Amino acid sequence: MYDILNTINSPADVKRLNVQQLETLAADIREALFNRLTKFGGHFGSNFGIVETEIAMHYVFNSPQDKFVFDVSHQSYPHKMLTGRKAGYIDDSKFHEDSGYTNPDESEHDLFNVGHTSTSVSLASGLVKARDLKGGKENIIALIGDGSLSGGEALEALDFVGSEIHSNMIIIVNDNQQSIAEVHGGLYKNLTELRQTKGKAANNLFKAFGLDYIYEENGNDIQTMIKVLQKVKDIDHPIVLHINTQKGKGYKLAEKYREAWHWCLPFNRETGEWNFSFPAENYTALTADYIMNKAKQDKEFVVITAAMPMAASLTPELRQKLGRQYVDVGIAEEHAAAFASGIAKAGGKPLFVTNSTFIQRAYDQVSQDICINNNPVTILLNYASFNGLTDVTHLGIFTLAGFSNIPNLVILAPSSKEEYLNMLEWSVNQKNHPVMILIPGNEVTSRPADKNYDRLNTFKVEQNGEKIAILALGDFYQKGEALAKQVELQFGFKPTLINPRFASGIDEKLLQELQQNHKLIITMEDGILEGGFGQKIASYYGTAPIQVKSYGLKKEFYDRYNPEDLLKQLGMTTDQIISDIKKLNI
């Protein structure tokens, strides 16, 4: 096993192989992918489909002199194995050493940390510009999947390169006929036409952007790919090399069920079953239930996603049932946000659901298209928690810092199942505000909750007490509850416990009242402190004779941390907070 892969310590080792050895290397890489992915999970289909192309890339080009930029990194694993990092795939004890994304800290063969889509052409064109200013001669290659093409950043970049770059640049478009879910967008009709005509169709998106273009049907054939890459190597202008590959190639189930196998958790190779089951009751499943019921009752309700249907557990079956009340815009968050604003303006009830980290891609649209216009769009965010995705490119801890300071936007942070579902229903039906709801990141808990949230920024006092008031926002409400109990045990008095619910404003009346019999306000939030909730409270009390101690994460790009360890490291466990309180001498 791994006979050839074991000999590969750098791209130079790839160049020494003969035809048959290259084929064996491809098989070895797939075995190594199986080894890591069955046990550790990760991006599956895109990596299985790109093995031959990346072997050919390293055979033909000279990385790191020649520079590769991998869009969204979903297809970077074979490249990693060929650049000194095979251990992260074949040695189970070293899985953790490999980030799953390109990462300059791991290797000089990786240029950028990348985990959001549609960035590769822009980033690569910057490398081109710097090379030309410095008088370099190296090849610069961007590898981008068809799914990523629909993103505005990629389209802007293709347009730019098509007229403003006049030197070597190779854009490999890996067309595996699949985004994360199915592809959506007119350009995919053009890609189909181009595949069907073997690149000859007169109408050609890339040429319409001013780009030179060639097509290669056999993207999964190493020899073919070596030939075509040799042809474009050292080219003196930008060219798009459109290749046809099979997503999931080498694993029957993945070839057949391309969406299900875009990404996987540890699984059984024989059956394809994941060695992991989600709790029967979880917040995304509750979201799917809500959506299906609401859609049935209300024909003006429409769910929008930007290639992230699973952020609301919307399986292909459920999507089909939703019919025209479901719109996947493809990877196009900017459009999704403005589209939702248009729907709301005309009286529809749009619910835009995605992962927290991706809403950043529509920052200006949330601000301008939605919030200035005050249109009642509901934006529903998954993984807006330190306890969600922990890769540096997918952190959900910046949402409040970024969005809670946009005027008109009401951000709700529910703390129980009932509160979450009531907020959803209230938000979808009301016509007065754009609303963002953070899907809870912890286990489902149950507690009675209000139905109406019309009175903005009214915090809920869940326990009346004295001396200390704990404002525990959203996901951190349960931590606030635990702290309140511990305060009572240790100090012998009941503190006040508050469920703020609103993350985008403060309840001035309540904060005013708290001054009467409290000496310390503790705020707890599931995100970075800077720009978030606690700092608003601290500022409100700036000149008041009351202390405010805020708990939250630091403004930092954490990467692959253990959530509980991080809290401890930041001094945010119940015991640590109790110890802080003791020092304050309340």
Q: Which amino acid is at 327?
A: V
Tell me the per-residue interface mask from 270 to 309 with its own copies, x by CB under 8 A, - otherwise: -----------------------------xx-x-------
53 vs 46: CA distance, rounded Å: 12
110 vs 337: CA distance, rounded Å: 32
Task: Give the neighbor-by-neighbor strand order of the sheet with 460-463.
Answer: 460-463, 496-499, 467-472, 518-528, 547-553
User: Is the distance from CB of 496 to CB of 468 less than 8 angstroms?
Assistant: yes
40 vs 34: CA distance, rounded Å: 10
What is the smallest separation between the CB atom of 343 and its own copies, expressed in angstroms? 4
Task: Give the neighbor-by-neighbor strand order of the sheet with 67-70.
Answer: 67-70, 140-145, 169-175, 238-244, 212-216
Q: Figure out which of the listed residues 39, 104, 197, 493 binds its own copies, where binding follows CB under 8 A.
A: 104
123 binds its own copies (CB under 8 A): yes
Q: Figure out which of the listed residues 20, 134, 452, 454 binds its own copies, where binding follows CB under 8 A.
A: 134
How far are the Cα atoms of 401, 404, 549, 556, 572 from residue 526, in angstroms, in the given order?
11, 13, 15, 14, 11
Candidates 55-63, 108-116, 220-228, 429-437; binding stretch for its own copies (CB under 8 A)? 108-116
Q: Which is nearer to its own copies, 152 or 266 (CB)?
A: 152
Q: Which is nearer to its own copies, 126 or 272 (CB)?
A: 126
Candidates 214-222, 240-248, 465-473, 546-554; binding stretch for its own copies (CB under 8 A)? 546-554
55 vs 8: CA distance, rounded Å: 11
Residues sharing a CB contact under 8 Å with residue 69, sequence separation 6 or more, in sequence order: 111, 112, 114, 120, 123, 124, 127, 140, 141, 142, 143
What is the smallest separation between the CB atom of 365 and its own copies, expressed in angstroms? 7
Site for its own copies in 433-492 (CB under 8 A): none
Candidates 23-31, 40-48, 105-113, 431-439; binding stretch for its own copies (CB under 8 A)? 105-113
Tell me the per-residue interface mask from 354 to 393 with its own copies, x by CB under 8 A, - otherwise: ------xx-xxx-xxx-xxx------------------xx
Q: Which is nearer to its own copies, 418 or 530 (CB)?
A: 530
Q: Which is nearer to its own copies, 155 or 482 (CB)?
A: 155
253 vs 256: CA distance, rounded Å: 5
Q: Which is nearer to its own copies, 547 or 573 (CB)?
A: 547
Total residues binding its own copies (CB under 8 A)? 120
Q: Figure out which of the listed residues 57, 141, 243, 329 binds its own copies, where binding follows CB under 8 A.
A: 329
188 binds its own copies (CB under 8 A): yes
35 vs 90: CA distance, rounded Å: 6
Candidates 82-90, 269-277, 443-451, 529-537; binding stretch for its own copies (CB under 8 A)? 529-537
